[in-house]
Amino acid sequence: MKDILARIADAPIVFDGAMGTMIYSRGVFINTCYDELCLTKAELVAEIHREYVTAGADVIETNSFGANRIRLAEFGLADRAADICRSAARIARDVAGGDVFVAGSVGPCLDAGQLWTESRVAELEDAFGEQIAALLECGTDFIFLETFAHVEELRLAARIAKRAGSAVFASFTAGNSGETALGVPVEVVVSTLHADDNVDAIGMNCGTGPAPLYDALARALPLTGKPVIAMPNAGTPKQVGGRMLFLTSPEYFTSYAKKYVELGVRGVGGCCGTTPEHIRVAAKAVKALSSVKKHVQLRVFEPSVTEVAVVPVEQKSRFACRMAAGEKVTTIELLPPRSADLTSLLQKARFCHYHGIDAINIPDGPRASSRVSPMIAALAIQREVGIEPILHYCCRDRNLIGMQSDLLGGYAAGLRNFLIITGDPPKLGDYPDATGVFDVDAIGLTRVTRNLNHGRDIGGTPIDPPTGLFIGVGANPCAVSPELEQSRFRSKVEAGAEFAITQPIFDPEALFRFLDSVADSAIPVVAGVWPLVSYKNAEFMRNEVPGVEVPDSIMERMVACRTREEGVETGIAIAQEICAEIRSRVAGFQVSAPFGKVEIALRVLDHV
């Protein structure tokens, strides 16, 4: 494996969740020394580690948080500190194997209420030195200092760990107000740790739930260029509709895990109250947001006067012609089937064509699922129904040579409208062990397509005649990092994008802010619209679909629905209201057919 710092530089990683919570759930009383279980009940500890690894954790922490001689003295075990730490490291290493990192968990020697005094430095140095040496001796990959309240103690432990030759992750605890238990603001702690050469990564863990931690991270991240790790508790009680609810579900936890990553956090895990189920759901979402490998460098070829003429936009397709003329376009998204039978898909496409829809959107392996080839589905719809398809084409499954061949082949077969997307990573779907290619991302593939339209392939070889592909790209107006999304959108337009389709819009104001921010890179934007059918559907969109944000106001309307029919009608009404509000700012609408129900999508468009 790469070392942990190289790995975290590649993409955000997932830590495990609570150890103490899981031990307690196994019936171990809280007056037990949980660290000693590494000696007395090693298989119980190993079983918990295995559950986190199976859930998708990239890093598991040793069960040694309090295994220093000062803490262990309370249980009469001070002289067993090194033995406990060695056993903790061996157990975790055996479970982790060669694919998962092992972090040596080191907690503070002092309670938050105890005073930091220089007179105790020698005692603390001995305790930390013994614990850290034992952990590193038996297979830990780095030292994770966590749940510290005293910055001085945290820096002392970091110095000892760095002296022992380890990478050092230094994590502290802040409460709901964004201050430590001693009243020190997170900005002060992070700035101090950023300046400390013994600290390789900075963390915040415990102390509060996901929402307050997000606020603290937003304050802290601009102050450091070091990797930042976020490990909140499962949640805190919150008043919803007059009721006090504990928002501790894996879905709630995951909604913030995604926000942390989009904010710039490089590692996400859980503290008190979190379980393997929290990590399982969060891991899929975080890895879906993770960046992909370094892309192939591409050349840009500008046509000269002696080269073939470029096909004008209005001549590329009926869909392109309507959009170039400023007419509102309507499209409906239909998923290719999981079986080889296209009968139902074609029937739905005919129904849409009969109702005057301009085009059918064909996703390419959404959520990393395996279905009938979207290109075959698109060709069948175009030839047998007569309505134009918009083929989504992602970078996940094919290398650069194969993608160029598909673009040329699709054009030769009569396909004209392509939506270029990066694609969901395999870990998001049903085949997490499949390999994602990602030679380029959506920006790179847009450039490839533009080159083909200008008569050049990826190597610069002339293509005559050039293709006339109408190049679409995705856009996410609700991105948690709007500056990054705006920058990527401008890069897509610069690379050759001619229109865009957004993620489903549930917040019109977010769309308007996005359109205003990229007005200098104006191309026609088609708004994605998803008619919700139930509160459960709204929860799924909010928590499980990367890049989609469903406001609280919509969640409240959906949760008030008492029947399935009422849920469908409310979802249609919400979609109609959104379309009406954004109509003047967009080039048209792409309406999804939830669960293949095209009648619902058509009702939304009929109202428009």
pLDDT in tens, 120-165: 999 999 999 999 999 999 999 999 999 999 999 999 999 999 999 9
Using an 8 Å Cβ cutoff, are 477 and 527 in contact? Answer: no
The upper half-sphere exposure of residue 556, i.e. CA atoms within 13 Å in the direction of its Cβ, equals: 6
Would you say the CATH fold of 317-529 matches that of 4-289?
A: yes
Q: Residue 1: its pLDDT value, please?
A: 55
Torsion sign, CA atoms 364, 369, 372, 373: positive
- Interior angle at CA 349, CA 346 and CA 353, nearest 5: 135
What's the gap between Cα 585 and its chain centre? Answer: 28
Q: Residue 207: its pLDDT value, please?
A: 87
Q: Give the pairing of strands 237-240 and 243-246.
A: antiparallel
pLDDT band at residue 301 under the 50/70/90 scheme:
low
Using an 8 Å Cβ cutoff, are 33 and 314 in contact? Answer: no
pLDDT band at residue 305 under the 50/70/90 scheme:
very low
- What DSSP letter does each residue of 6-63 carry, written as one string? HHHHHS-EEB---SHHHHHHTT--TTS-TTTHHHH-HHHHHHHHHHHHHHT-SEEE-S
Q: What is the 3-state secondary structure (H, E, C) of 285-323?
A: HHHHHCCCCCCCCCCCCCCCCCCCCCCCHHHCCHHHHHH
Q: Residue 520: its pLDDT value, please?
A: 92
Element (H, E) at 203: strand 201-205
Q: Residue 204: its pLDDT value, please?
A: 97
**Residues with Cβ < 8 Å from 327, sequence gap 6 or more?**
none
Give the CA distances from residue 410 to residues 50, 375, 473, 491, in Å, rounded to whole numbers and listed in that order.
46, 7, 17, 25
Average pLDDT of span 181-210: 94
Using an 8 Å Cβ cutoff, are 348 and 596 in contact? Answer: yes
DSSP state of 567: H
Residue with tokens 């401008």: 490
At 106, which amino acid appears?
V
Residue 602 to residue 351: CA distance in whole angstroms: 9
Residues, the chain: 608
We find that the CATH architecture of domain 317-529 is Alpha-Beta Barrel (3.20)
Using an 8 Å Cβ cutoff, are 55 and 280 in contact? Answer: yes
Average pLDDT of span 170-177: 93
**Residue 378 token pair:** 């698109």
Residue with tokens 């058509």: 602
Mean pLDDT lowest among 67-76, 96-105, 302-311? 302-311
Using an 8 Å Cβ cutoff, are 146 and 203 in contact? Answer: yes
Average pLDDT of span 52-73: 96
**Residue 218 token pair:** 């937003």
Q: Residue 292: its pLDDT value, please?
A: 47
Give the CA distances from residue 191 to residues 196, 225, 228, 264, 572, in Å, rounded to whole numbers and listed in that order.
9, 10, 12, 17, 49
Which residue blocks in 454-528 are alpha helix, DSSP H? 482-495, 508-517
Average pLDDT of span 84-96: 98
Coarse DSSP helix, strand, coil percentages of the chain, rounded to the nearest 5 percent = 45, 15, 40
Query: What are residue 249's phi and psi, to 5 degrees?
Result: -70, 155
pLDDT band at residue 302 under the 50/70/90 scheme:
low
**Residue 274 token pair:** 């979190």
Question: What class, spelled out in words, does domain 4-289 have in CATH?
Answer: alpha beta
Q: Residue 146: its pLDDT value, please?
A: 97
**Residue 120 token pair:** 């105790």
Residue 403 to residue 539: CA distance in whole angstroms: 35
pLDDT band at residue 268 under the 50/70/90 scheme:
very high
Whole-number average pLDDT of the chain: 91
pLDDT in tens, 471-490: 999 999 987 678 878 999 99
Q: Residue 480: its pLDDT value, please?
A: 65
Cβ-based neighbour number of residue 82 at 10 Å: 16
Q: Residue 242: its pLDDT value, please?
A: 56
Q: Residue 541: its pLDDT value, please?
A: 87
Which residue blocks in 303-399 are alpha helix, DSSP H? 318-324, 343-354, 374-384
What is the Cα Rg of the chain in Å?
Answer: 27
Q: Residue 428: its pLDDT value, please?
A: 60
Q: Residue 370: its pLDDT value, please?
A: 84
Packing angle between helix 121-137 and helix 81-96, nearest 10 degrees? 40
Classify residue 543 by burial, with Cβ atoms within 10 Å: 0-12, 13-18, 19+. Answer: buried
Average pLDDT of span 575-582: 97
608 vs 36, which has greater pLDDT? 36
Average pLDDT of span 588-594: 96
Terminal CA-to-CA distance of the chain, rounded, Å?
A: 54
pLDDT in tens, 354-363: 999 999 999 9
DSSP state of 73: G
pLDDT band at residue 325 under the 50/70/90 scheme:
very high
Using an 8 Å Cβ cutoff, are 539 and 556 in contact? Answer: no
Q: Residue 303: its pLDDT value, please?
A: 54
pTM of the entire structure?
0.66
At 571, which amino acid appears?
G
Which residue blocks in 454-534 are alpha helix, DSSP H? 482-495, 508-517
Checking if the pLDDT of 412 tops 70, the result is: yes
DSSP state of 221: G
Q: Residue 238: its pLDDT value, please?
A: 58
Per cent of the chain over pLDDT 70 is: 92
The residue extents of the domains of the chain are: 4-289, 317-529
